[in-house]
Amino acid sequence: MLSLPVLEAPATRAAPPAAPERSRAHGLVDSHGRRIRDLRLSITDRCNFRCVYCMDPDVRFLDSGSVMTPGEIERIASVCVRLGVQRIRITGGEPTVRADLAKIIKRVARAGPSDLSMTTNGALLDDRSLHAWRDAGLQRITISLDSVREDRFAQITRSRTRASDVIEGASRVERAGLGSVKINAVIVRGFNDDEIVDLVRTARLIGAEMRFIEYMPLDSAHAWSREKLVPASEIIERIERVFPLVQRGRERASATAMVYDYRDGAPGAVGLIAPVTRSFCGACSRLRITADAKVRPCLFSRDEFDLMPALRGGASDDAIARFLADATWAKQAGHGISSSGFVQPERPMSAIGG
């Protein structure tokens, strides 16, 4: 694990410190030699759920005037693609609560990434929307589902949506021409860790890749503790007792998930995302932009850089490119969760964009 110096208090900075001129010429590269290929683009901090590990029930959202317009989102996407970004994931908050989502997808697709995906809580996946998003250029969807038990699903999401609605929505994704669906579950000890095998069983029924994410200190309640973390090694062990697996490995060095196929040849797969116990920071290729246009070099950044004044102040594409290159240069070596000086970022996951 990479260790970090003690981090300072959180700060939104107007602009990042300038990167050396020679690095700016190479697109989005950081001072540790990593290149940005993946953009996580948050289009809203709003959500129709209030997941216990993510968002407070009485959360205060950004006012609508501070949230990026479709035109601003497209501009950032196209400058990033010009700088070498290949994959863009639209996220939030919950992206499907934006009424102009299809328009946003169309504009981001126009920027020309080779892969365009979206993460959603799966509450609003009717056929009409799925087709509209596909026609607008969306290629893949990842859905979050942390429990298949209705009472617990309601307890986790604090919403009226039912787990069965989300599963039904997930089963429609592939039929709508949006590739094979991935399902994400965050596992929290003593809360839903008894459902690991049930989640896999459900995903197998619809041929989805079931991905387990280690619980990270990004919750709004700051209630994360190491005791609540279920390490990826334990998750895989529990699955293997019921469904033997064969390791496929990572799609790319920078991919977040370790992927396993079923030994019995069943459709779908199991993915493990272990940012805490098997940090993949050394191969990180991600940059994040929040719904209010703050550039966050890392999920765990204590500093973020405000691109909105440039976007709304008539800056040229070249100036925006320089801003993004400088913010990338400032990317920290690793998240440092295991270092004694670790301080949880002020923004919860919902306000960063997962």
Residues binding ligand SF4 (CB under 6 A): 47, 49-51, 54-55, 92-94, 121, 144, 350
Among 186, 272, 284, 287, binds ligand SAM (CB under 6 A): 186
Question: Which residue's CB is nearer to ligand SF4, number 93 or number 268?
Answer: 93
Question: Which residue's CB is nearer to ligand SAM, number 215 or number 305?
Answer: 215
Q: Which does 218 bind (CB under 5 to 8 A by kind): ligand SF4, ligand SAM, none?
A: ligand SAM
Question: Which residue's CB is nearer to ligand SF4, number 23 or number 142?
Answer: 142
| 144 near ligand SAM (CB under 6 A) | yes
Q: Which does 216 bind (CB under 5 to 8 A by kind): ligand SAM, ligand SF4, none?
A: ligand SAM
Distance, CA of 114 to CA of 86 (rounded, Å): 5
Distance, CA of 310 to CA of 307 (rounded, Å): 5
Site string for ligand SAM, 205-234 (x = CB under 6 A): --------x-xx-xx---------------
Q: Which does 55 bind (CB under 5 to 8 A by kind): ligand SAM, ligand SF4, none?
A: ligand SF4
Three-state SS for 76?
helix
Distance, CA of 217 to CA of 154 (rounded, Å): 22
Q: Contacts for 67-71 with beta carbons within 8 Å, 24 or more apart?
A: 67/43, 67/291, 67/292, 68/43, 68/291, 68/292, 68/293, 68/308, 68/311, 70/100, 70/103, 70/104, 70/107, 71/107
Q: Which does 328 bind (CB under 5 to 8 A by kind): ligand SF4, ligand SAM, none?
A: none
Give residue 262's identity as a one-letter amino acid code: Y
| 121 near ligand SAM (CB under 6 A) | yes
Question: Which residue's CB is nearer to ligand SF4, number 136 or number 143?
Answer: 143
CB of 350 to ligand SAM, least distance (A): 5
How many residues belong to the site for ligand SAM (CB under 6 A)?
A: 20
The sign of the dihedral angle between the CA atoms of 203, 209, 212, 213 is: negative
Question: Which residues have C-beta within 8 Å of that of residue 276, sequence separation ≥ 6?
Answer: 214, 215, 216, 229, 231, 337, 338
Question: Which residue's CB is nearer to ligand SF4, number 49 or number 224?
Answer: 49
CB of 25 to ligand SAM, least distance (A): 34
Question: Which residue's CB is nearer to ligand SF4, number 203 or number 213?
Answer: 213
Question: Which residue's CB is nearer to ligand SAM, number 215 or number 243?
Answer: 215
Q: What angle do CA 143, 145, 150 make, to 5 degrees?
A: 140
CB of 121 to ligand SAM, least distance (A): 4
Give the tokens for residue 97: 């609560």
Which residues ranging from 32 to 61 are in contact with ligand SAM (CB under 6 A)? 47, 53-54
CB of 318 to ligand SF4, least distance (A): 34
Chain mean position to CA 279: 16
- In our burial notation (b when 16+ CB lie closer than 10 A, e otherwise), range 194-230 reads ebbeebbebbbebebbbbbbbbbbbbbeeebeeebbb
Question: Which residue's CB is nearer to ligand SF4, number 81 or number 145?
Answer: 145
Residue 202 has, within 13 A of its CA and on its CB side, a CA count of 24
**Strand (E) positions, 215-308?**
245-249, 257-262, 269-273, 286-289, 294-296, 303-306
Q: Which does 213 bind (CB under 5 to 8 A by kind): ligand SF4, ligand SAM, none?
A: ligand SAM
CB of 217 to ligand SAM, least distance (A): 7
Give residue 69's identity as a one-letter amino acid code: T
Residue with tokens 């896999």: 200
Among 30, 94, 209, 292, binds ligand SAM (CB under 6 A): 94
Question: Which residue's CB is nearer to ligand SAM, number 226 or number 312?
Answer: 226
Q: How many CB atoms lie within 10 A of CB 251?
A: 12
Q: Which residues bind ligand SAM (CB under 6 A)?
A: 47, 53-54, 91-92, 94, 119-121, 144, 184, 186, 213, 215-216, 218-219, 349-350, 354
